[in-house]
Structure 1
């Protein structure tokens, strides 16, 4: 396949965008088709990376036999493209901001590219073809060829010289590498990442949106076949409140961050972990956290005060570490136990 570049002109990222418009109850359309001339580059046989103009250039799509188009943008493609016979499209709605969650879309995006590349030709695009779509293509190259982020980035950049994922997307690609090119929901960094994304959303809409309900963990008090051996219970009524896996570690006097890969180490014995306050993930018995920005946490059985939570202000631990968002249990109000009680006996 020809490696011809249809435009060597770099996208004008300083170009003023016109606002997108909403012409329906839930259908977004855009007015800002001003991403410059048709611009796309062949990353490898069957995979192209380009801008919005390329994705709407019917002649170019036909000439290159592109019949799979992945849009990673704030608005979908116009119907004149999505309704083209023989063309399969997929739309992932994200903005080009460092705190946007693109990582959670990797699996569906990479599956779409793989299926398309195996049978035809795929174009991945965003507005300029620089950040969002480049992030997806880099992730695909990482997984397909078992490459590190840096190696995959260089490979893509050799084909399209002005690719540049924003800093947040770069960190998400590095986390993708650390998780072995898949989403590991048990990974501490990923859990911290999703919690930060949820906090950003709660600050905007004042409630926990449906897209972030995965941060609410199941109630460890429920009967289960394989309960965790170490749990934290209400000191007054002994109701199980959290499992050891629900705890979010932090180092004394340090603000924890999901971009810090120290949490990927299996052995945390070398870290000065703090236990002065038990910071945990939000758990479903904390019903008040889904529709309040901050408040108190009470035992769901005896109503004893256990701690507090805050999506917006966070909490200052006595050790000096600032945690945000924060869901914490006061150690004097709870006790830990390794007595398994919530086990389901099966015959």
Structure 2
């Protein structure tokens, strides 16, 4: 439905996507008559600025504001769980409006993610379902990648998922380039050092070849594909506490016990795997500097 309204944000544009769930632009969210007509009780605003006070202070509305730019590198994935819960609650009590500035990218991404999780849909099917009701939806490429990752994680934020690990590290690297330090909200990217005692029970570990200190676990590997298969030509791993890399953009990696050089790292520059793949950020352990303790890891290296 379209009608002339606030000239600063264009005409009102809002569409019913599912029963009790609307997707639109800022003009619709700012117009009291539209909100009353559609019986909106809950609003998700995902934009650079919150709604005007006269809307926010309406007692009949429950409003959630997410400050986010429509940029591919923005982390919209982290909001999928909370917006899903908000929408679920809203449609059970009234009508929900999800909006950004134009109702094309950011808000559309949240609605697509909601449908994916609610109906167990692939991204492509959820996208077409939304586009059928609102033809102008067009999430930016970065948001599409995050929706595809959401699909691969089976609609939950799985911090142990390889794609998620790489996604978080890439975001951390972008922040590192700007402020020259790892931001507080990315410190979870630095994993705890391997527990040596526990490693003895499950020997999927890397040991310093010189002093036998455990420096990483098999689960710390960061893998990538080469010719549609997991590349086995290099050892890129997650950043670990012993590396001390939160305030240094690049450098060498030394064994925390004997100081033997094990590899190198960089938040800001790519490292090329022997397969040709450029990895950034990169935390690399040289195969010649470590030993591998079990058959599982040997099979990983030798099974081609």
Measure how far apart 1:114 and its partner are. 0.8
Question: Which residue of 1 is the match for residue 17 of structure 2?
Answer: 43
Query: 1:102 and 2:58 equivalent?
Result: no
Please identify runs of 4+ aligned residues in structure 1 that moved more than 4 A.
Answer: 222-228
- RMSD over aligned CA atoms reads 2.4
Q: How many aligned positions are there?
A: 295
Question: Which residue of 2 is the match for residue 300 of structure 1?
Answer: 256
Q: Mapping of 1:1-347 within 5 angstroms?
A: 5-7=1-3, 34-221=8-195, 224=198, 228-251=202-225, 271=229, 273-275=231-233, 277-287=234-244, 289-338=245-294
Change in 2 beyond 3 A, CA 1:33/1:234: farther
Measure how far apart 1:93 and its partner are. 2.0
Measure how far apart 1:165 and its partner are. 0.6
Contact 2:4 2:10 in 1 (8 A): no
Question: Which residue of 1 is the match for residue 300 of structure 2?
Answer: none
Give 5+ residue unaligned stretches, structure 2. Answer: 296-304
**Post-superposition CA distance 1:54-83 (Å, at most 9, x none):** 112122212222121111112222332222
Measure how far apart 1:320 and its partner are. 3.0
Contact 1:7 1:40 in 2 (8 A): no
The structure with more helix, counted as a fraction of residues: 2
For the residues of structure 1 that align with 2:284 and 2:155, how far apart are their CA atoms? 32
More displaced, 298-307 or 66-75?
Answer: 298-307
Change in 2 beyond 3 A, CA 1:226/1:304: closer
Give 5+ residue unaligned stretches, structure 1. Answer: 10-31, 255-261, 263-270, 340-347
For the residues of structure 2 that align with 1:162 and 1:226, how far apart are their CA atoms? 56
Measure how far apart 1:101 and its partner are. 1.5
Change in 2 beyond 3 A, CA 1:105/1:331: same
Question: Which residue of 1 is the match for residue 302 of structure 2?
Answer: none
SS in 1 for 2:242: coil
Query: Could you tell me the TM-score, scaled by structure 1's length?
Result: 0.79
Query: Could you tell me the TM-score, scaled by structure 2's length?
Result: 0.89
